[in-house]
Amino acid sequence: MEVPLTRTMAAALCTGLAATLLATATGPARSEPRQPDTWTVAEAAHAPRARIALDDTTGSLSLTVSRAGRTVIAPSPVGIVTQQADFSQGLRFLHRKDRTVEERYRAKSGKRLDRRVRMNETRLSFATVAGARLDLVVRAAADGIAYRYVLPAGYGDVLGESSAFNLPADADAWLSTYRVDNEGQFNQYTAATAPTGEYSDQALFATDGGYTLLAESDLTGSYSGARLAHTQGTGSYRVKLADSQVHTDGPLATPWRAMITGDLATVTGSTFTDDLAPASKVADTSWIRPGTVLWTWLAGGRTAGQSLDAQKAYVDYAAAHHWPYEAVDSGWYFKKDEWDVTDPDWQTDSWMPELVDYARAKGVGIIVWIHQRDLDTPEERAQWLPTLERWGVKGVKIDFMNSEAQSMFQWYDTILAETAAHHLMVDFHGATLPKGIQRTWPQVMSMEAVGGEEKRTNTATHLTTLPFTRNVIGSMDFTPGGFQRVGLRPDSDAAEVGLTVAYESGLQMFAGTPESYDARPLARDFMDQEPAAWDDTRLLAGSPGQEAVLARRSGDRWFLGGVYAGAARTATVPLTIGPGRWLVETIRDGADGLVQDRQVLRGGDELSVDVVANGGFAAIACRWHPGVTTCYR
């Protein structure tokens, strides 16, 4: 039967004939391969996995983090906007480059001295319609995922990021309201119920099957500090920069946006933010020596700081207990309206050289407090830093930066190089968070950036959250040991001893008075044993806001510190510090003060300790064999 040729059929026939003729003329037709629009990065099959996706419609990027098949961070926007280019949309993929980052380095402080790094890195290159280029660099390790933006020169200042982290709405969240000194308390919410506002970028979330701590690394004066902006009712936390415009005058690599993820022990023991940071810029680190410190501010305040005789007495106490350092806080040096620093002989009016000589003869080094405003110009730094080095001062506690603007990070870049040149260890107060700084500049022994012992509003909940938040990302100068502050601190005496271990700091500053130590000889004798540098760190038990028990090893001994929030209990702690028999000497709260217990346990056994309300404990464990009666030396 003949079928009538319709107009539609005729058009199709013509189209097919044309295609046949074209194929005959040019050879077999080739279909263009579809460019990939998703990429994955992981260090190993069981490790966290990053998935980067490019939306075909909008040209925008997103990043998802998963672990063991479970979503940790839901698809979250990735992008950056400059004066000349918008890299938050309209992108097309160019190419991918992969490499493995393997490093070994030795730290001067932190959770462990010897570090080994293995990360897989993927660099994805994109372009806008106008041809502007952006590289997104993603790194994956066993304990985290991180990304940064890399831009060539010529795109102008940065106006902001579209970077954000999308968490499940019902994920438990431990957040600290943002402050420029990073001294806010941590409170627990869910990701969605947290009030609208800005939070510190050290935010902890209980994600599916584990925990995730948001952080930042490798922040310098080329960029601006970040915080997290949140709107109640959502699980989204957006990166907001301290500056509305970040000045750039060349190629730019932004700081790493880091997600430390795993079980709670993995997160607590992580050195991921240090591992992401550049290698040490200090060639000779032999002069950098961590140690415990008698800190005099809460022991006597400004009056003690202005008295040479009082400081000599503190030096005597530190020497008697073999504490390597004594810190002289505010009040020891001139007021600007009293001394003329343009006079070349102004230093002769200070009693500090006499104190340093006195302390040196007794084997004690001196750390001095100084206000940032007295180091904020080249002229002031040229007066102070060489002078302190010449006197023999071992370190400086620099206070009141109170800014995360780009200009302040440019000052950090300068002061870090200059303190290293003058062999001065550094403890920053009123400061930013560590952000990997202790790897690149190992003379930074500690940083405050915490609601510490000085605060009168701390809670036991806050104290039990810090090991899982602030102290994860670097040494923390909480200044524990303020026994005399009864009624001003929320914890018991045994918990206060435990904090000296639970909280890591390269300069562990004890905040008590000699009288308060002597009234608690068990606490004092325990603190006499403590180092401030550790060969290993392990979480033995913990739940943010409820309990934290950490074990830190120095040589062949383990030091244990536990702190609890809530009602009295008998705490049980797995002694996972190695096989064999261990002598464990524990300090706890008794009816009439601190008491000490001794027992021999096998590795893996449970250590039972009676803990009072909002209490804690401290312990030393050493290998036991017949004849060993104490771990103390």
Catalytic amino acids? Answer: 399, 454
Query: Backbone phi, then psi, for 526, in 5-degree steps?
Result: -65, -45
- Residue among 511, 563, 504 at smallest CA distance from 530: 504
Residues 557 and 206: their CA atoms lie apart, in Å, by: 32
521-529 and 493-502 helices, crossing angle to 10°? 10
Residues 80 and 91: their CA atoms lie apart, in Å, by: 12
> Which residue is listed with tokens 């940064």?
148
Identify the H or E element spanning 354. Answer: helix 352-361
| Beta-bridge mates of residue 78 | 61
- Residue among 492, 491, 487, 532 at smallest CA distance from 509: 532
Helical H segments across 401-459, by residue range: 406-421, 437-440
| Beta-bridge mates of residue 99 | 121
Residues 189 and 174: their CA atoms lie apart, in Å, by: 6
Query: Between the CA atoms of 522, 523, 524 and 526, what dihedral angle is there, to the nearest 10 degrees?
Result: 80
Instruction: Tell me if 151 sits within 8 A of 80, measured CB to CB.
Output: yes
Instruction: Tell me if 530 sits within 8 A of 501, measured CB to CB.
Output: yes
Written as six digits, the tokens of 553 are 């090893």
Amino acid at 101: V
158-161 and 164-166 beta bridge pairing: unpaired
> Which residue is listed with tokens 């809530």?
566
Written as six digits, the tokens of 393 are 């001062």
DSSP state of 476: B
Instruction: Tell me if 586 sits within 8 A of 618, measured CB to CB.
Output: yes
CB neighbours of 18 closer than 8 A, spacing ≥ 6? none
Handedness of CA 276, 230, 241, 149 (dihedral sign): positive
| Beta-bridge mates of residue 103 | 117
DSSP state of 116: E
Residues 205 and 188: their CA atoms lie apart, in Å, by: 10
Instruction: Tell me if 560 sits within 8 A of 621, measured CB to CB.
Output: yes
